Amino acid sequence: MQITSKFTAAVHILACIDIFGDQMRVTSDFLSGSTGVNAVIVRNVLGQLRTAGIVETRQGSGGAHLAKALDEITLYDIYKAVDCVDDEGLFHFHENPNAECPVGRNIHKAMDGRLESAQAALENELKSTTLAQVVSDTRNLIDEE
């Protein structure tokens, strides 16, 4: 299973809110132009981030604002906010391995723990990275242009 692009779009959106928020109203139309994602999807992502307490939005001319400091938001917070992974986890096993086949009968036992470990490693990395780090790197890259 692949993590949806809503995760990277959400990080992009939050970086834009921080970088441009002091200069202009950061609207879903502006964010759509920056991300290349349809404005309806941007509004959906903003709604999920608002529900998670990461952003504040005002309809009409208000735009979006961060509800927390950058160093209080981890990539894991964003990942969970935009529902990148369902309750089954990051990896979804094929439904009906053949129980008559020795591989089909045992593949879950051989793989399940490894896949759970891989997901835990990813989530731990996301927990250890703040949005402040990503925005700082983004600002440095902008300055190098």
pLDDT digits (tens, 9 = 90+) for 93-144: 777 889 999 999 999 899 989 999 999 999 999 999 999 999 999 999 999 9
What are φ and ψ of residue 57, in 5° steps?
-130, 150
Residue 1 lies in a domain: no
Residue 66 lies in a domain: yes
Amino acid at 15: A
Residue at 119 is within a domain:
yes
| Encoded amino acid at 59, one letter | Q
- What's the Rg (C-alpha) of the chain? 19
| Counted domains in the chain | 1
| pLDDT tens string 7-30 | 999 999 999 999 999 999 999 999
Predicted confidence band at 76 (pLDDT cuts at 50, 70, 90)?
Answer: very high
Is position 63 within any domain?
yes
Look at residue 69 and tell me if it is in a domain.
yes
Higher pLDDT, 79 or 60: 79
- Domain assignment present for residue 121? The answer is yes
Go through 34-49 and write b for each residue having 16 or more CB atoms within 10 A of its CB, e for each that does not: bbebeeebbbbbbebb
Instruction: Tell me the CATH number at 122.
Output: 1.10.10.10
Domain range enclosing 87: 6-144
